[in-house]
Structures are given as C-alpha cells and as structure tokens.
Amino acid sequence: MIFQNTKEQVETVRLFRYNSLGNKAMTQTIENRKIYSLMEISSGISRAVSRAFPDYYWVKAEITKLNFYPKSGHCYPDLVEKQNGLIKAQIRANIWAGNYNKINQKFKSVTGEPLKDGLKILFLAKVGYHEHYGLALNILDIEPSFTLGEMAREKQQTIERLKKEGLLDENKKRRLPLLPKRVAVISVETSKGFNDFKNVLQNNGWHYKFTLILFPALLQGDAAVKSIGLQLQAIAAHREDFDVVTIIRGGGGDVGLNAYDNYHLAKMVATFPLPVITGIGHSTNLTVVQMVAFANKITPTEAGHFLLGQFHDFAVRLETAETKTNHYASRLLASEHQHFSQLVKMFEVHTKNLFNHKKTDWNFLTRRMEQSGQVVLDKAGEQLQRMASRLKHQPVQQIHQAEQKLRNLRKLMAIHTVQSVQKAGSRLSLLENKTELLKPENILKRGYSVTSLNGKILKSAADAKPGSRLTTRLYKGEIESIVKEKREKTDS
C-alpha cells in the first residue's frame, strides 16, 4: 500500500526517524524540543491508517482464538498467517455483537458448525486504529465457502501424501478375528452415538457376548487430533487385549469432521496394528480417516451391526459344518455297520468250519480208540489161549488164578477203555467250549473290542497316525475316536 505524503504523515514519520545527531540531540534543552502528546501520536496513527486503507478488504487468515464474550455479544478473534507451521503475521480483529450473530448463523447454515478456533476464513474487514484499543480489523462479513474449500484442499493433500507413502489401504490388510468380541471404543461416554453402539451390541437378540472398553476422547476440533491419537497409542500398548478398535461419534457437519482429515491422525489409523472401524457421523463426504480405516460405517448403529454380522456369518458356517458332519457321520456309520455285519457273518462261517473240522477229528479218534481196544482184547485172548494150553496139565488152582488174572485184566481193559473214551469226550467238550468262546459276540462280551481304520481291522499301532478317526466295536454299541498320540511296542 502506497501512502500519500500529507503533512500529517510526514510529521508522524519524523517522530520515529533515527536522529543522526545522536547524543548531541539528547543534550538539547527541553525548551528546544518539539514535544507531542500521546493523543496526538495516536490520532496521527489513526489518520494515517485511515488514509492508507480507505476501503474494505477481503482477507484470508486463521483463527487461533475466537475470544467470544457471551455477556456483551462481541467477539475479538486473534488472527494469524502461517507458513510451514511458523507464524508469519498476526493481528487482532473484532466482530461487534450486531454482526456476530448474523455472520455466525450464516457460517453455521453453510458448514454445519459455528465459528471456532483453528478455522481458516476469508472475511471482509475494515482496517482501523483506535486510541484505546490499538490496531485491529473490524470484520463485517465471512465467506463460509472459502473455509470449506480450504478443508477440501487440506484433505486432498493428506490423501496424496498417504497415497505416496503407500498407506491408504494399509489398515484394510489387517486380519479381522473370526469373532471380534473384545472391542476398544474411542468415544465420549455421554454421547448418543456411543450409547447407540453399546445398545446394539449388548442387547442383541442372539445373546452374543462383547467386551467393550471405553477410551474417552474429544471427537471434534483441533484438540480431537491429539486426544484421539493419545488413546490410539494407549490401545496399541495393550493390543493383545483387543480384537478391534472403533471410533464412535454422533452426527455433525463437515467442519466438525475436519480433524479426521488431519494427516497425522489418518496415518495413525492407517498403520494401526489392529483393524479400525469408524462410525463417526452422517457426513455425505468421507473423511480421510474413514477412507483408510479397515471398515467405515456411517453411523455408530451400523458399526455395531457390522460386528454382529461377523458373529452371524460364523453361526451360518457352524450350522453348515454341523449339517455336513452329521451327514458324513451317518453315511460312515451305515458303511461301518454293513462292514461289521459282513465281518460277523464271516466269523461265524469260519467258526462253524473249525467246529466241523474238530468234530471229524473226534470221530476219527473214537474209531481209532475202538480199534485199539479190540486189538488189545484180541491179543489178550490169544495170550490166554496160549497160557491155557500151557497150563492145561497144571493144577486147577493155577487155572483159577489164571482165570482171575484174566478177569482182572478184562476189568482193567474195560476201565482203560472207558477212561480213554471219557478223556476223549472231555477233550471234545473243551474244544466245543473253546469254539463257543471264539464266537464274536462272546469275545466282545468279555470286554474285548474290534477297532477298525478306514474299514479295515487295525492290528498294529504303526498303522494309525495322529488325527486318524477310529471305529471301535463293543459288545453293545460303537465308539468313534481320534488318535491323539500312539506308543508302538518294540521287539526286545
């Protein structure tokens, strides 16, 4: 801005010009000095500013502190301009009560949020200097669309930066547990959104159990970035205690969600070690935090139903698996029952054949014993005849003795024959008992069992591997089992 060299401006500049005479000027007497009152200086500055800035100007700046006083209705914003995070210029402004309500209502109707700290605004102002309050900008109007545009520009810069770093889809790569029931919630305890979210999970009709741990945080404004960030750090320090993180917030306008476009907060969410689910309001435009989150649900209620959906999906899979298992088990049992029936019939045939074979042996043994007995009798008769012929001329007494011996011999032979027959009968009975005991049902009845693997009789532990499914046939019923470990018998 170029100043007009009026007499007042020149005189004002002279007051601040460096006196080249140095100490010599300081030694002048008071009578030789031109002295100005403070009011004259202030008035000169006021006139100079008025002449230098005679019009109304559109100015862009950032509100560091709004300084609104409800009692008077006046507002005294502190304005700054920053470059690379450093303040390059700052000035105080004022919005008088008559204009403040009108400007604030207009701003709120467009952006959905009132004027507050941290916003970049474009405003119409008059430059003024007051003798009591100093230099200030009197704000007459604010353009809300500029603030929305600045937020959109910053949002796009955040997206491009995250895209360049390869972080946009990083959190989406996290693995969501099969049943995410341990939930870390970043929200405000008294917010309606948090209560809606909690009600959906804790009062579900299927009685699914969730553990909710609240990490309270501010959810809007510049302070939200730091507050949410600190709680994310606290959760990360105990990540093994949680399955998922949710950021829950009620409705709000685009300005209220501006913190969720912050690069640092978005990067924390993108790189967080657990899946992050957002339910931060009814905004029509997605924030960067919503974009990089594992899953974005517009409302807290939808976020709750998303978690319930994971339990529903598992329940459906479980029911399907149960149906398939029952069907497979039924077919397997039918197959094994048929196989076992065939095995029993085969066992009966083998037992009958063995019994018939032993019966043939017994008949053969009986015939041999009869023949042997007859041979013995024939031999004894022959001996008797020979003895009779030798004793023919001996005394009668000797004949009687010989006859007595012969009778005794016959008795012994009869006893021997009977004992042999009884012994053979006992052996036959023993064979019959053994044969009876070898029947499958009697073997199983004594506590033995038949174990099969894949339809074949299991004879060695080496044939079974851990995880194999075995079928054990008992006297009454069958048992299905899974091999956990085995111990093979080694030959000593």
| Confidence band for 70, pLDDT divided at 50, 70 and 90 | very high
Is 335 domain-assigned? no
Residues 65 and 97 in one domain: yes
Name the pLDDT band for 239 (thresholds 50, 70, 90).
very high
Stretch 224-241: mean pLDDT: 95
pLDDT of residue 288: 94
Chain-centroid distance of CA 467 in Å reads 27
Confidence of residue 160 (pLDDT cuts 50, 70, 90): very high
pLDDT the model gives residue 157: 92
Are both 96 and 198 inside the same structural domain? no
Using the predicted structure, report yes or no on whether residue 264 has a pLDDT greater than 60. yes
CA distance 110 to 96: 21
Span 266-273, mean pLDDT?
Answer: 97
CA separation for the pair 169, 128 (Å, rounded): 51
Instruction: Tell me: do 177 and 271 sit in the same domain.
Output: yes
Q: pLDDT confidence of 255, banded at 50, 70, 90?
A: low
pTM recorded for the entire structure: 0.54
Residue 198 lies in domain: 168-298
So what's the pLDDT on residue 366? 80
Q: Are residues 270 and 361 in the same domain?
A: no
Which residues, in sequence order, are CB contacts of 318 under 8 Å at separation 6+? Answer: none
User: What average pLDDT score do residues 249-266 get?
Assistant: 77
pLDDT number for residue 21: 41
Q: How many residues make up the chain in this entry?
A: 492
The total number of structural domains in the chain stands at: 4
Residue 291 clears pLDDT 80, i.e. is over it = yes
* Rounded CA separation 227/462 (Å): 63
Name which of 36-50, 136-150, 349-363 the model is least confident about: 349-363
pLDDT of residue 254 exceeding 80, the answer is no
Reduced to 3 states (helix: H, G, I; strand: E, B; else coil), residue 91 is: strand
Average pLDDT over residues 271-280: 96
Q: Is the same domain home to 82 and 11? A: yes
Task: Tell me, yes or no, whether 19 and 142 share the same domain.
Answer: yes
Contact of 194 with 248, CB cutoff 8 Å: yes
Q: Same domain for 432 and 454?
A: no
Does residue 163 lie in a domain region? no
